[in-house]
Amino acid sequence: MATMGCRVNQYESQAISEALQRHGLVQAEDPGSAGNIYINSCAVTSRAVRDLKKTLRRLHAQAPDARIVVTGCAAQAFEKELQDLKEVDLVVPQSRKINLLASPFPETALDSRDLDWCISSYFRARPVVKVQDGCARGCTYCIVPRTRGAPRSRTPGAILQEIRRLLGRGYRETVLCGINLSQYGQDLNPRMDFWDLAAFLEHNLAPEWRDRMRLRISSLDPSQLHTRALEIISQSRMLCPHLHLALQSASPRILSRMGRSHYHPSEVDAFVKGLESTLPLFALGADVLVGFPGEEEADFRATVDMIHFLPLSYAHVFTFSPRPGTAAAGFQGRISEREKNRRSARIKEILQQKRNRFAGRLLKVNSLHLIMENSFKGMSQYYMECLIKEPSGELRPGDQVTAAPINIQGSKLLVEVLARCW
């Protein structure tokens, strides 16, 4: 199974893979030996769709007799276009992706009311658990509401049961993810929000698992950064000291054009200052979108200034890509590719300096808690990859170690193992 795009897609691919194996299919060691190939696609950028088509051509060349099934967001947005490709045998739109849990080849719509996403294992050492899907925000540049539909939340009980199932399999970090976590719980009865879910998980897991496992939040909307969020994050014994914010821009004018005027950049500043006063050290990441139609130099400068101000340890920088069916695709004031790339490069230059500065702060920490991803690399609680100075064949994916930071090596930390387990 090939997966493209976000963590939600990764989670759904795992659930589909487990379901296919329950239906009797056996996972192939390589594409050339596969009889059936499933591709879980992304459509968030035009590049993602180009990469999908490139992947289709490559896989078809490697396995010309295999049946190729395409699902995911690109399958929803470009169903007819993909179905017409010679490499594709079946297109299962995102709205019917869950049907793959019931049948390896759902050519027709199935009654999916009794189906639910669930996993019992994961292909990486730190599993993702989907808590929410869909979005009704209506950002003018975003194709996701068209491909994923309205917000849908999993119940706290189902999420807790899944995390406990993963704990039973030896996983010690769970990443809580969704398409838009700010819309978690709006469709539940009684209504709740993401911070209610975080408090629920802490209450039910901490008595047994406190200091033995951790929860990581995938990405937050700035509108979620309020007093209660600060209280829960500051008091938690299970949440990683790491936040990732969907900032996009620091210009109120551009945020309004993006359909994101539900928060003001100054609110982010205030929240981060409050967090700095309660947590001595935390990692902070962000999504930044540059080159939005109408983004003038002053708007870009506002974003640059905010990046300078915030204690960011990393960020994902995207350039605007018009998506079919979105309002922004028809906006005037397009920015040239050359200028978009210049702005992107400028921000990445600043971010590299900030990442180095953050790594320098971690060098002063006595020890880090790592979950190993392989025998020589692990992820710290601060979302900084760490390389083991003297790798040992005894270390396996998922192992937990404490390690002392020694030096900066590229974009990672070089560490020395102090002890196994924590």
Q: Which position has the token pair 């999908």?
A: 52
Domain 128-362 has CATH 3.80.30.20: yes
Is the pTM higher than 0.85?
Answer: yes
User: How far is Cα 320 from Cα 9, in angstroms, rounded to an integer?
Assistant: 22
Beta-carbon contacts of 305 under 8 Å, excluding residues fewer than 6 positions away, are: 250
Other C-beta atoms within 10 Å of 160: how many?
A: 17
Question: So what's the pLDDT on residue 420?
Answer: 86
Beta strands of 179-282 (E only): which ranges?
214-217, 242-248
Q: To which H or E segment does residue 175 belong?
A: strand 173-178
Question: So what's the pLDDT on residue 111?
Answer: 72
Q: Which residues of 35-60 are buried (b: 16+ CB within 10 A; e: fewer)?
A: ebbbbbbbbbbeebbebbbebbeebb
- Is the distance from CB of 389 to CB of 416 less than 8 angstroms? yes
Question: So what's the pLDDT on residue 422?
Answer: 58
Domain boundaries, the chain: 2-101, 128-362, 368-420
Rg (CA), the chain: 22
Could you give the count of Cα atoms lying within 13 Å of 313 in the half-sphere of its Cβ? 21
CATH class of 2-101: alpha beta
- CA distances from residue 206 to 155, 279, 385, 420 in whole angstroms, order as listed: 19, 19, 26, 21
pLDDT by residue for the chain (422 residues), tens digit each? Answer: 999 999 999 999 999 999 999 999 999 989 999 999 999 999 999 999 999 999 999 999 999 999 999 999 999 999 999 999 999 999 999 999 999 999 999 987 677 777 899 999 999 999 999 999 999 999 999 999 999 999 999 999 999 999 999 999 999 999 999 999 999 999 999 999 999 999 999 999 999 999 899 999 999 999 999 999 999 999 999 999 999 999 999 999 999 999 999 999 999 999 999 999 999 999 999 999 999 999 999 999 999 999 999 999 999 999 999 999 999 999 999 999 999 999 999 999 999 999 999 999 999 999 999 999 999 999 999 999 999 998 877 899 999 999 999 999 988 999 999 998 85
Question: So what's the pLDDT on residue 114?
Answer: 76
